[in-house]
Amino acid sequence: MKNRNWLLLILPLLMLASPIFAGTIDHSKVMSANECGECHKDELDVWRKTKHYKTFNELARRDNAKKIAKNMGVKRIKKDSTCMNCHFLNKEEAGELTPISGIACESCHTPAKDWIKLHNDFGGKDVKKENETPEHKQQRLNAISQTSMIRPRDIYNLAENCYQCHLVPNEKLVNTGGHKAGSRFELVAYSQGDNRHNFARSATGDENIESSIERRRVLYIVGQGLELEHSLRGLSKATEKAKFAITMAKRVKIASKRLKIVNAKLNLADITQMLAAASSAKLKLNNEVSLAAAADKVAAINKIFAKAYDGSQFAAMDALLPAPADYKHQ
C-alpha cells in the first residue's frame, strides 16, 4: 500500500482551504427537475418513483409530520425553513424562497444555472460526447470546475449532501419535535436501490446499471468516513443528554467500528488516520471545539482518500459490502 504520511504534513493547509460544509445551496440558481428531464428522461422517471420525489405532496398530510410540526411550533410545513431545507428543493425569486419539488436533481448535483449549458456542450450544437476533441473536453471540464457542479466522479462532495440531511443534525427537531434522529443510512445500499439512475455510464446509455464493484468499495469507505464526520459534528452541537446526543455518540462508535473492520482487511494509513482523528475527541456534551476539530480532520483525510483510489486494490473488503438484496427499495 502507498505510504501516505505526507498527508499529515499538508492537512492543516487543506483544512484552511476547504469550507466546512460543501453543500450550501445558492437557491437563486435553482432551475427544476423538469428542465433536466428534457434530456435526462430516464433519470427523471426513476426519481419520480422515489421518496425524495413523493415527500413534496405527501409530507404535510402525514399525521406524524403534523405532530412534529406542532411540537416545533411550525404552522405551514411547506413555508417553514425548519422542514423545507431537508424535504424540498427551494427556489429563490425576488428574495422569496418557494419549494418547487421534493429533493431533486439539483439537491444533489447543485443548482444548475451556471453549469447547465456548459456540461452538455461537447464542441457545438451537433457534436456528440463521443466526438468531443481532447482540447474541448479539457476546456469544458475547466469551465465546469469554476462552477458549483458536483460531478459523479467527485464522490466525497456528492455523498456529503446525503449525510447533511440523513443524520438530521438538529437537536431541537429530534428532542423536542420527535423527529427521527437520522436514517439507518449506508451509502452503497441507499444509492444502489431505487435511487439509482446510472444510465449515462452504461454501454447503450439506456440501461440503469449498478456502480462497479471497484466504485462500490470506495463509496462504502467514503460513506463511513462521512458518517463518522457528521456524527461528530452533530454531537459537537449537542447540549442535553437526550435522544439526539445519545444517537450521535452511538453513530460515532458504529462508524468507527465499521472502519476498523474494513481496515483489518485493507490496512490503509488513511483509514488509520481517520480513526485516530475521531478518537482524539471525547464523546461528551459541551465539547464543541474538540469534536468539531476531529470532524474537520476526518473530512480532510476522507476528501483526499476519495480522490486517491479507484478501489481496484480493495478486493479484500468485498464480503463487507451490502448485497443487492440489501439495497434500499421504497
CA distances from 174 to 77, 138, 265, 279 (A): 16, 46, 36, 25
Task: List the one residue out of 21, 322, 308, 26 whose CA is nearest residue 185.
Answer: 322
Q: Does 65 help bind ligand HEC (rule: CB under 6 A)?
A: yes
Q: How far is the CB of 249 from ligand HEC (least distance, A)?
A: 18
**Residue 200 neighbours by CB under 8 Å, 6+ apart:** none
Return the ∠ at Cα 322 (arms to 321 and 326), rounded to 5°: 175
For residues 289, 293, 294 and 295, what is the CA-based torsion angle, rounded to 10 degrees? Answer: 100
CA pair distance 20, 246, nearest whole angstrom: 23
Query: Residue 254, CB half-sphere, CA atoms under 13 Å: how many?
Result: 14
Q: How far is the CB of 145 from ligand HEC (least distance, A)?
A: 11
**1 versus 61: smaller Cβ distance to ligand HEC:** 61
**Residue 73 neighbours by CB under 8 Å, 6+ apart:** none
Radius of gyration over every alpha carbon of the chain, rounded to an integer in angstroms:
20
Q: Does 30 help bind ligand HEC (rule: CB under 6 A)?
A: no
**156 versus 190: smaller Cβ distance to ligand HEC:** 190
For the segment 156-185, give every residue that binds ligand HEC (CB under 6 A): 158-159, 161-162, 165-166, 168-170, 173, 177, 179-180, 183
Question: Applying CB under 6 A, what is the total number of residues that bind ligand HEC?
Answer: 69
Q: How far is the CB of 9 from ligand HEC (least distance, A)?
A: 31
- Locate 121 and state its grid cell: 456542450
CA pair distance 247, 16, nearest whole angstrom: 29
Selected range binding ligand HEC among 91-99, 192-200, 249-257, 266-274, rule: CB under 6 A = 192-200
Contact of 87 with 50, CB cutoff 8 Å? no
Q: Does 197 help bind ligand HEC (rule: CB under 6 A)?
A: yes
**3 versus 130: smaller Cβ distance to ligand HEC:** 130
Q: Does 298 help bind ligand HEC (rule: CB under 6 A)?
A: no
For ligand HEC, which residue of 22, 91, 101, 106 counts as binding (CB under 6 A)?
106
- Locate 276 and state its grid cell: 485516530
For the segment 209-238, give every residue that binds ligand HEC (CB under 6 A): 211, 215
Task: List the one residue out of 221, 227, 238, 222 whose CA is nearest residue 282.
Answer: 238
CA pair distance 245, 231, nearest whole angstrom: 9
Number of C-beta neighbours around residue 181 at 10 A: 22
Q: Does 131 help bind ligand HEC (rule: CB under 6 A)?
A: no
Q: Does 40 help bind ligand HEC (rule: CB under 6 A)?
A: yes
Q: Does 112 help bind ligand HEC (rule: CB under 6 A)?
A: yes
Q: Does 152 help bind ligand HEC (rule: CB under 6 A)?
A: yes
For ligand HEC, which residue of 22, 29, 101, 104 counts as binding (CB under 6 A)?
104
**105 versus 300: smaller Cβ distance to ligand HEC:** 105
Residues forming contacts to ligand HEC in the complex (CB under 6 A) are 31, 33, 35-36, 38-40, 43-44, 47, 51-52, 55, 59, 62, 64-65, 68-69, 72, 74, 77, 82-83, 85-87, 103-109, 112, 116, 119-120, 129, 151-152, 158-159, 161-162, 165-166, 168-170, 173, 177, 179-180, 183, 190-191, 195-201, 205, 211, 215, 328, 330
